[in-house]
Amino acid sequence: MTQGPLTTEAGAPVADNQNSETAGIGGPVLVQDQLLLEKLAHFNRERIPERVVHARGAGAYGTFTVTADVTPYTRARFLSEIGKETEVFLRFSTVAGNLGAADAVRDPRGFAVKFYTEEGNYDLVGNNTPVFFIKDAIKFPDFIHTQKRDPYTGSQEADNVWDFWSLSPESTHQVTWLFGDRGIPASYRHMDGFGSHTFQWNNEAGEVFWVKYHFKTDQGIKNLTQAEANKLAGEDPDSHQRDLRQSIERGEYPSWTVGVQIMPAADAATYRFNPFDLTKVWPHADYPIHWFGKMELNRNPENVFAEVEQSIFSPAHFVPGIGPSPDKMLQGRLFAYGDAHRYRVGINADHLPVNRPHATEARTNSRDGYLYDGRHKGAKNYEPNSFGGPHQTDRPLWQPVPVTGVTGDHAAPVHAEDNDFVQAGNLYRLMTEDEKNRLIENLAGSISQVSREDIVDRAINNFRQADGDFGKRLEAAVQALRG
Ligand code: HEM
């Protein structure tokens, strides 16, 4: 900002910013004190709605670099050459807490990456977990209601959390993950990221591949125990946010090695389980990770509200060569985010510097609305037109997929090993004895706060179905705590 006198919003110099204008000394304040009215009115409007989930977060800019050839699988231009660099903006977050909540809590972490590519912005709006609690978007509002504040008590309630999870056995895998060691990362730098869903890649020849993204932290995984987190959350609620900003200020740029698991399209129908089920991982023995990139964060935002709070990420922001899969959760998300942005930031949210394309320009016929900046000047606002306006390409970003059957509220197609418990059991059996002990202790600590026996029994029973030993030890630990 240039030097000079303080001004009103309209640019007029301000004579006195300490005393409001009154009728005589000690008299009432005058309506003609426009500076006072303007300041109070602007202050009242400083907040915008916080994100309904993932309200609490921190962001940074950086660079994505291609390190291996993936052109046999996708025609996305930003991935077309080894060594090619693309600017990124990443927003990390927790899920359930409000804007002012502490960072060091047991909760998944959001891992939302915006790639500013020359073919438009590509958003990968993932988490630090490879799976999720549910597999159909229609359950998401109910699920989140159980994670947020109860309408009567105004607090998060263990009864609601465990009632929903125990009645949604598909959550068992993610809940086992969440209450294990990785459930509370030490910082945003010390955790992996995942696209979680299955996405479509398609190449120049039009061949389709199903992929799952992995971002492996180069800082190494570091976690907090429940006791460490409780202490840190009290002492420094902003611990993750501060750590990210300060590490970048020190020149210690966090980075991630980026890869995909690749499934040829033809495998999907006959795979052991539904490959579009968000509660399942694809075992690496079936589909190994192809590492193809490096992502480094090296620049802090200059203004948190402008660049982090007003940033928008949408799973529907694809570029040529990348598209959605039939994952029912992903399909719901394709609607939810754009809708949230229009409500939270406004119809011209895409025009803000953090959100607009950086390596190309948006050429649409959308116009006007709140805070429209007139960027299109006098250009025609319809298509087709004969005035040299932008025109359609006739080439979809992604390839069509075959479908069969009739409309209906169908469950997903059935595969031989579709099962809510197998992968939760596998995860438990992979753990060392110490890891199992901490998992049981964390789960028991939470379940023992539930007020109703039927919910407790149902919750434990889900873990018993994942692994008999898991269920037995959890039951004993809960009983010990409940006395
Ligand atoms: C944020 C909806 C599942 C990751 C949000 C927001 C909404 C939403 C409305 C706030 C957006 C905003 O105000 O800008 C949903 C729905 C889901 C779902 C309806 C299920 C059908 C998921 C899953 C993941 C995820 C499975 C990860 C794999 C995120 C992240 C953010 C977010 C990272 C924060 C983005 C940012 O930093 O701005 N979600 N979500 N969500 N969601 Fe989801």
Beta carbons of 134 and 171 less than 8 angstroms apart? yes
d(CA 281, CA 129): 10
Q: Is the pLDDT of residue 253 over 90?
A: yes
Asked if this assembly's ipTM is beyond 0.90, the reply is yes
Architecture of domain 57-134+185-351: Beta Barrel (2.40)
CA–centroid distance, 54 to ligand 1, in Å, is: 7
% the chain with pLDDT above 90:
97
Reduce the DSSP state of residue 245 to 3 states and report it.
helix
- Asked if 156 and 147 touch (Cβ cutoff 8 Å), the reply is yes
Ligand 1 atom nearest 93 alpha carbon? 37
Residue closest by Cα to atom 33 of ligand 1: 110
Mutate to test the pocket of ligand 1, among 136, 337, 347 (most ligand atoms within 8 A of CB): 337
Q: Identify the bridge partners of residue 91 per DSSP, sorted by sequence position.
A: 59, 112
**Which pLDDT tens digit goes with each residue over 434-449?**
999 999 999 999 999 9
Q: Measure CA 216 to chain center.
A: 16
What is the residue with the minimal CA distance to atom 5 of ligand 1? 53
Residue 197 known to be catalytic: no
Peptide bond into 141 cis (omega under 30): no
Q: What percent of the chain has a predicted confidence (pLDDT) above 70?
A: 100
Distance 332 CA to ligand 1 centre (A): 10
Which residue, chain included where needed, has tokens 């040299």?
A: 388
Using DSSP's 3-state secondary structure scheme, residue 153 falls into coil
Residue 230 designated active-site: no
> Pick from 189, 195, 175, 131: which is nearest to 465 by CA?
175
pLDDT at 2 over 80: no
Question: Is 176 in a helix, a strand, or coil?
Answer: helix
Which long-range contacts link 366-372 to residues 24+ away (Cβ below 8 Å)?
Answer: 370/346, 371/346, 372/348
Question: Which residue has a Cα nearest atom 28 of ligand 1?
Answer: 126
Residue whose pair of structure tokens reads 């998992």 in the numeric block: 439
- Residue closest by Cα to atom 20 of ligand 1: 137
Provide DSSP, 361-386: ----S---STT---TTTT---SSS-S
Q: State the closest ligand 1 atom to the C-alpha of 91, by its place in the atom list counted from 1.
A: 37
pLDDT at position 293 is 98
Rounded (5°) CA angle 323-326-331: 80
**Around Cβ 252, how many Cβ atoms within 10 Å?**
11
Per-residue confidence band for 3, with pLDDT thresholds at 50, 70 and 90: confident
User: What is the reported pTM?
Assistant: 0.97
Pinpoint the residues of the chain covered by CATH 2.40.180.10: 57-134+185-351
- Span 328-354, average pLDDT: 98
Q: Using the atom order of ligand 1, give the atom closest to the CA of residue 52.
A: 10
**Residue 173 corresponds to which tokens in the numbers above?**
């895998």
| CATH annotation of 8-46 | 4.10.91.20
Query: Was 188 annotated as part of a binding site?
Result: no
**Separation of 352 CA from ligand 1 center, angstroms?**
20
Both structure tokens of 149: 């504040």
Residue type present at position 246? Q
Query: Long-range contacts for 154-157 (Cβ within 8 Å, ≥24 apart)?
Result: 156/96
Span from the CA of 330 to the centroid of ligand 1 (angstroms): 10
- How sure is the predictor about 413, in pLDDT bands with cuts at 50, 70 and 90? confident
Catalytic residue, chosen from 121, 127, 160, 300, is 127
- Which residue's entry shows tokens 């998300």? 333
The pLDDT assigned to 295 comes to: 99
Cα atoms found within 13 Å of the Cα of residue 189, Cβ hemisphere only:
20
- The CA distances from residue 189 to 101, 239, 283, in Å, are 19, 12, 25
- Supply the pLDDT for residue 39: 98
Pocket of ligand 1 (CB under 6 A): 51-54, 57, 91, 93, 110, 112, 125-127, 132, 137, 140, 196, 311-313, 329, 332-333, 336-337, 340-341, 344
Helix count and strand count (H, E) for the chain: 12, 10
Q: What are phi and psi of 480, to 5 degrees?
A: -60, -40
Report the 10 Å Cβ neighbour count for 329: 22
User: What pLDDT shows up at residue 107?
Assistant: 98
What is the reported pLDDT for 1? 64
Write out pLDDT tens, residues 373-406: 999 999 999 999 999 999 999 999 999 999 989 9
Ligand 1 midpoint to CA 15 (Å): 47
Test site for ligand 1: of 329, 333, 342, most ligand atoms within 8 A of the Cβ: 333
pLDDT digits (tens, 9 = 90+) for 107-129: 999 999 999 999 999 999 999 99
Give residue 416's pLDDT band: very low, low, confident or very high (50, 70, 90): confident
| Rounded-to-5 percentages of helix, strand, coil across the chain | 30, 15, 50
Q: What is the mean pLDDT of the chain?
A: 97
Enumerate the CATH 4.10.91.20 domain ranges in the chain, comma separated.
Answer: 8-46
**Over the stretch 347-371, which tens digit does the pLDDT of each residue have?**
999 999 999 999 999 999 999 999 9
